[in-house]
């Protein structure tokens, strides 16, 4: 029976930990040269532009021995009125898996309902589960554990925050979110994660309070793709939520700094911090490749 990865909530804590262990092994070169997905084809259907998501999946699919096929809405019949259901059924006859990066989460859910092959959410307006796997892998690499780690997320309670909360809750991390009023993470995600959490999940307004004693400080852009019309309003609202030298002084001396990229340097994070000794942003970006490979191995066999 096929299995999808639409949100982190679909995986248990032990499954996440097993996937991260496998990703670390792959990064270390274990099974180098093996092609577990040889002879398979995996589609990449992207409505939104991408750097890390597209390249990590395309390279990962190739390294696992499969063929990646990159598709956009303009290049297939969805652009001319073919339904998602019909498209999903047809692609299922050609491919062994489908990776989707879309605007609406409902698009991915509809693909998953009608596809006979595994569907992976590579980003939607509500969730970014593949990013959260790389986030946790980076923390595990650098700190040697996940349970009990205190992570402060500073900024917009967006799709990245939603998936990070879900993932951290399942592995026993403590998550402290600081955001302005009206920009909180999805309330359903918060409620469900708190009910299932092995660690505390706290919502605050003061970013310095959130960062106090943190092992990890995480931020993302204030204005995501598709929100350009709100840019000025959000920049005003998020004044004081910048990850800078003063904020980082509230965290532990050896705190990691994470950012899912792309970064708007000088806005949500300063150059001093982005390029500083606490930053593991580019290790985090690299880990998108290794977690993508582990996820593909897990779902497509």
Residues designated catalytic? 101, 128, 131, 220, 260, 288
Q: Confirm or deny that 52 is annotated as ligand binding.
A: yes
Q: In what order do the strands lie in the sheet containing 97-101?
A: 67-72, 41-46, 97-101, 119-123
Q: Confirm or deny that 131 is annotated as ligand binding.
A: yes
Q: Confirm or deny that 67 is annotated as ligand binding.
A: no
Enumerate the H helices of 11-51 as residue ranges: 13-27
Angle (deg, nearest 10), helices 281-299 and 129-143? 120
From 283, 300, 7, 6, select the one nearest 137 (Cα to Cα): 283
| Rama region for 168: left / alpha / beta (φ>0; ψ in -120 to 50; rest) | alpha
Q: Confirm or deny that 224 is annotated as ligand binding.
A: yes
Q: What residues pair up with 279 in beta bridges, in sequence order? A: 257
- Considering only CA atoms, give the Rg of the chain: 19
Q: Confirm or deny that 220 is annotated as ligand binding.
A: yes
Q: Confirm or deny that 77 is annotated as ligand binding.
A: yes
Residues 6+ apart with CB under 8 A from 198: 13, 147, 169, 170, 171, 172
Q: Confirm or deny that 129 is annotated as ligand binding.
A: yes
CA–chain centroid gap for 244, Å, is 23
Is beta strand 67-72 parallel, antiparallel or unpaired with respect to 41-46?
parallel
Q: Confirm or deny that 101 is annotated as ligand binding.
A: yes
Q: Confirm or deny that 288 is annotated as ligand binding.
A: yes
Report residue 98: phi and psi, to 5°.
-140, 125
Q: Confirm or deny that 130 is annotated as ligand binding.
A: yes
And the tokens for 120?
């992976």
Q: Confirm or deny that 51 is annotated as ligand binding.
A: yes
Q: Confirm or deny that 53 is annotated as ligand binding.
A: yes
Q: Which residues are annotated as a binding site for carbamoyl phosphate?
A: 50-53, 77, 101, 128-131, 260-261, 288
Q: Which residues are annotated as a binding site?
A: 50-53, 77, 101, 128-131, 159, 220, 224-225, 260-261, 288
Q: Which residues are annotated as a binding site for L-ornithine?
A: 159, 220, 224-225
């Amino acid at each position: 029976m096929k299995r999808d990865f639409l949100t982190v909530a679909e995986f248990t804590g032990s499954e996440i930990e097993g996937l991260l262990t496998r990703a670390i092994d792959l990064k270390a070169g274990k099974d180098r040269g093996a092609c577990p997905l040889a002879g398979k084809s995996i589609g990449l259907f992207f409505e939104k532009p991408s750097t890390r998501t597209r390249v990590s999946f395309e390279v990962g699919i190739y390294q696992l021995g499969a063929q990646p096929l990159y598709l956009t809405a303009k290049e297939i019949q969805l652009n001319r009125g073919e339904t998602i259901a019909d498209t999903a059924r047809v692609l299922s006859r050609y491919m062994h898996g489908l990776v989707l990066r879309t605007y609406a989460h409902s698009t991915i859910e509809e693909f998953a309902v009608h596809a006979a092959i595994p569907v992976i959410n590579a980003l939607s307006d509500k969730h970014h589960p593949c990013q959260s796997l790389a986030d946790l892998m980076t923390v595990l690499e650098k700190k040697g554990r996940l349970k009990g780690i205190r992570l402060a997320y500073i900024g917009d309670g967006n799709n990245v925050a939603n998936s990070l909360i879900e993932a951290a809750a399942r592995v026993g991390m403590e998550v402290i979110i600081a955001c302005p009023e009206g920009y909180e993470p999805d309330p359903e995600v918060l409620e469900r994660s708190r009910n299932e959490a092995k660690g505390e999940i706290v919502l605050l307004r003061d970013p310095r309070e959130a960062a106090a004693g943190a092992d990890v400080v995480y931020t993302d852009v204030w204005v995501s793709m598709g929100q350009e019309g709100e840019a000025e309003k959000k920049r005003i609202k998020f004044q004081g939520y910048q990850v800078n030298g003063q904020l980082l002084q509230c965290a532990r001396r050896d705190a990691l700094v994470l950012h899912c990229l792309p970064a708007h340097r000088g806005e949500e994070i300063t150059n001093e911090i982005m390029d500083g000794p606490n930053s593991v942003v580019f290790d985090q970006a690299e880990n998108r490749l290794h977690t993508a490979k582990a996820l593909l191995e897990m779902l497509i066999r």
